[in-house]
Amino acid sequence: MAKNMKGKDLISLLDLTPEEIDQILDTASFLKRLHYTGEPFRPLQGKTLGMIFTKPSTRTRVSFQVAIYQLGGMGIYLGADDLQLGRGETIADTARVLSRYLDGIMIRTFAHDDVVQLAEHADIPVVNGLTDLLHPTQVLADLLTLREKKGRLAGLKLTYIGDGNNVAHSLLFGCAKMGVNLTLATPAGHEPLAWVVARAKEEAARRGCQIELTDDPRAAVQGADAVYTDVWTSMGQEQEREQRLKALQPFQVNARLMAHAGEDALFLHCLPAHRGEEVTDEVMDGPQSVVFDEAENRLHVHKAILALVM
């Protein structure tokens, strides 16, 4: 195992070098092979990961808890009722206390600044399991899936269709870092944040790839190696649901849209999927879909991150 990432926080893919992302993906591939051969690998024997959830999750909780267990350590679940993050005790004090008990922290929460503050004051590595702004560990699993299925990353074209949300933001950073051409098709009012796009374009220019934004999903998928979508209404946006459904309906990923991408295009989704909204059953369950391979790769990527930083 490489040592140069020990103690490193993983808050945003923007903070990682392309070499570090490659190292995570290579480590994930290595650990995936060991997983299927049944060969034990427990570099984190005796270590403990605190898992803070103010936003509930199926995949994030299970994959991180299984990841730390398979690496020889133990995970402690800290839900919203167990830890009043920033209420009753400051985030800084929470970070200092947890640093005395734990070897690493994974946090999945709403406000991105909470994660930034936690990492700033903790003496142990902090991993961003999702915020309203970013979802970096998901996109690392997406990149691993693309690399497995297409044999490379640099020069591929990925098209994201739908809401310019936290997944779209992390795709912008991750694709730019790894030389993947990214086109985002979003309706007016649902574009990704302008500063995120600007930073991604700066990175893309260094890596020789393109970032494009459009409101035309059919044009966006032309020549795509993969088509990606996510839910239209994320947790905390329930009051906007009807407006979102109306605005995003023309951006549904269905068989007609996938036909414009071509039969070799993969379909990705970070899950959970709202079938019949952002994607149809025929695409989710069709031959181009790799969503469950992608979901599995969350486990292997999470193992890689923990093994490298803890």
The residues annotated with a catalytic role in the active site are 108, 135, 138, 230, 270, 298
Question: Residue 199, exposed/middle/buried by CB under 10 A (0-12, 13-18, 19+)?
Answer: middle
Q: Which helix (H) or strand (E) holds 101?
A: helix 91-101
Beta strand segments in the chain, E: 48-53, 74-79, 104-108, 126-130, 157-161, 181-185, 211-214, 226-229, 266-269
What is the SS3 assignment for 302?
helix
DSSP state of 275: B
- The residue with tokens 């933001």 is 169
**Residue 77 CB: number of other CB atoms within 10 A?**
13
**Cα–Cα distance between 35 and 56 in angstroms, integer?**
27
